[in-house]
Amino acid sequence: SVLGNIEKVQNAPQSTFSPVQVLFFNLFFPHTLILMSEESLRHLRRYVLFGKNRIAKVYGGVDTVHFRPPSDAERRDARAKFGVGDGEFMCLLAARLAWVKGHDLLIKAARKIRDGASSPPIDIKCYFVGSGGAEREKEIKSFAFAGEKDKDTFKFLGFMGDVREILWAADVFALPSRFEGFPLGVAEAMATGLVPVRTPAGGATDQIIQGQTGFIVPFEDVDALVGALEKVADPAMRAALSRNALARAQQYFGVGPMVDETLRIYGLTGDTSGNALAHAVKA
């Protein structure tokens, strides 16, 4: 949202470090630089940095006890609460309202699916959770509600302190961002068994094994996004992807693995107790 209008956001991913920024990195490179994604690692490796061997990768961790798959009753209740009808394919984008998150791309894709000739037809509904600056919110909502049918297709729910129930109500989590660090929203979604569809921004290849735990679609490619969403709309495909997404989240994206790896970097392996964590914070 800080970047402003959509044209600036679309150009931002092509920006590179200036010579002054590279010099700063080399003069003040830390003992260990912790990054959160393979994409961030690849980006830094493009530059002449003397501390490249002191870079570590630690995935962001989410509460996989709280963010868990719903029971059948919990899912029914969640869909009823948010007005998701039987047979509707509910696509969720939970992120701040800013062009960087690709709301416009998902809106275009949903319209194509809604007005297209999918076989079988897909009754798609898109829910957006999150807030942003007043100007960006107005722009994005204006883009979404361009036609009469859009009022039934798109719903904006605003900020939520806890997104678990809306995740339980959804069928797919879409995040066609222009760039990311490591979107914890995707990890939370996967931990509930929700299938992610996203662009190759930060964290993409760490979170998604293509066609197994979800789908990565190219930047700015609405047709590819449509194709991925149509695949996830198939119940059998979605069930298989959901199992794999859940297993990957539980193995890699919990708070426990994040703490363990951080403690290892601080030389505190083999003890994930509160005392060891306190020692790491003091260090």
Residue 154 belongs to a domain = yes
Adjacent-strand bridge partners of 175: 198
- Cβ burial of 102 (10 Å; 0-12, 13-18, 19+) is buried
Tell me the average pLDDT of the chain: 91
Q: Tell me, yes or no, whether 198 and 266 share the same domain.
A: no
Interval 184-200 mean pLDDT: 98
Q: Using CA atoms, how far apart are residues 51 and 32, in angstroms rounded to an integer?
A: 8
Q: Tell me, yes or no, whether 84 and 121 share the same domain.
A: yes
Residue 67 belongs to a domain = no
The answer to whether the peptide bond before residue 257 is cis (omega within 30 degrees of 0) is no
Q: Tell me, yes or no, whether 278 and 193 share the same domain.
A: no
Closest CA to 210 of 192, 222, 198: 198
Q: Supply the CATH number for residue 188's domain.
A: 3.40.50.2000
Output the pLDDT for position 278: 45
Output the pLDDT for position 3: 64
Q: Tell me, yes or no, whether 159 and 193 share the same domain.
A: yes
129, 154, 216, 170: CA torsion to nearest 10: 60
Q: Tell me, yes or no, whether 48 and 163 share the same domain.
A: no
Q: Using CA atoms, how far apart are residues 203 and 201, in angstroms rounded to an integer?
A: 6
Confidence band of 142 (pLDDT split at 50, 70, 90)? very high
Q: For the ranges 9-23, 42-56, 66-80, 186-200, which has the lowest average pLDDT?
A: 9-23
Handedness of CA 80, 83, 86, 88 (dihedral sign): negative
Q: Tell me, yes or no, whether 151 and 271 share the same domain.
A: no
Q: Tell me, yes or no, whether 260 and 214 share the same domain.
A: no
**pLDDT surpasses 50 at 109:** yes
What is the tally of structural domains in the chain?
A: 2
Output the pLDDT for position 163: 98
Residue 10 belongs to a domain = yes
Q: Tell me, yes or no, whether 182 and 197 share the same domain.
A: yes
Q: Tell me, yes or no, whether 263 and 235 share the same domain.
A: no
Output the pLDDT for position 15: 79
CA-to-CA dists, residue 278 to 31, 36, 265, angstroms:
20, 22, 15
Output the pLDDT for position 116: 87
Task: Name the 3-class secondary structure at 101.
Answer: helix
Tell me the residue range of the domain where 33 lies.
6-61+254-282
Q: Tell me, yes or no, whether 55 and 192 share the same domain.
A: no
- DSSP assignment of 203-259 equals THHHH--BTTTBEE--TT-HHHHHHHHHHHHSHHHHHHHHHHHHHHHHHHSBHHHHH
Tell me which amino acid residue 213 is: T
Residue 155 belongs to a domain = yes
- Cβ burial of 30 (10 Å; 0-12, 13-18, 19+) is exposed
Radius of gyration of the chain (CA): 20
Residue 66 belongs to a domain = no
Task: Name the 3-class secondary structure at 81.
Answer: helix
